[in-house]
Amino acid sequence: MISKGSSRSFHQCFNLCSSVFNLQTATPGGKPIDFSGVDDSTARWVQEFSVKPYANPAKLESIDEPVCAVGQGVAALCCATEEQKWIFSGYSMTGPSVFELVRSPEFANLPLIVEDFIKDNGGSYTASIEDAVHVVLDRHLVTGQNVQSTSAAVNNLILLCSSR
């Protein structure tokens, strides 16, 4: 599981998956998870999560297991490189659409636009209308466009793991 954006979406993913899997978080380079959007309803959970053993991320580049990223968490995939080549080149995926991103007050400060990065680095990007559920499954990678896609993405991850 990868998350960078919504702590609410990560919390939802984690709760859905933890009853089915032994989880390991993974980030590019094994860097700490960057939770944003922490509010009163998620602050306590984030604090409790951060002291658990599974909160220490593995290096995404070394993971040979299914990966699920949703919404702004898809941006974390953009940092995953080996020998200066993006490891998801040639994959089909989704992430937040530009139309969804421009509504955020943080839009002007975003370090990258996921859609542009994917297309510029050899991936195939698709999106649905704003706030619609949209999930893409390609090989071992499941991506969801936005927070609304969280449950569908996790269910696809569960199905993918069940078929292995």
pLDDT of the chain along its 164 residues, tens only?
Answer: 444 446 777 777 788 888 878 888 888 888 888 777 778 877 888 888 888 887 888 888 887 889 999 998 899 899 888 888 999 999 999 999 999 999 988 899 999 999 999 999 999 999 999 999 999 999 999 999 999 999 999 999 999 998 87
Q: Where are the domains of the chain?
A: 7-162
Contact 152, 144 (CB under 8 A): yes
Residue by residue, what is the 3-state secondary structure of 17-66?
Answer: HHCCCCCCCEEHHHCCCCCECCCHHHHHHHHHHCCCHHHCCEEHHHCCCC
Q: What CATH fold (topology level) applies to the domain 7-162?
A: Rossmann fold (3.40.50)
Contact 94, 143 (CB under 8 A): yes
φ, ψ for residue 7 (rounded to 5)?
-65, -30
This prediction's pTM: 0.80
111: Cα within 13 Å, side-chain hemisphere: 7
Residue matched to tokens 């919504």? 6
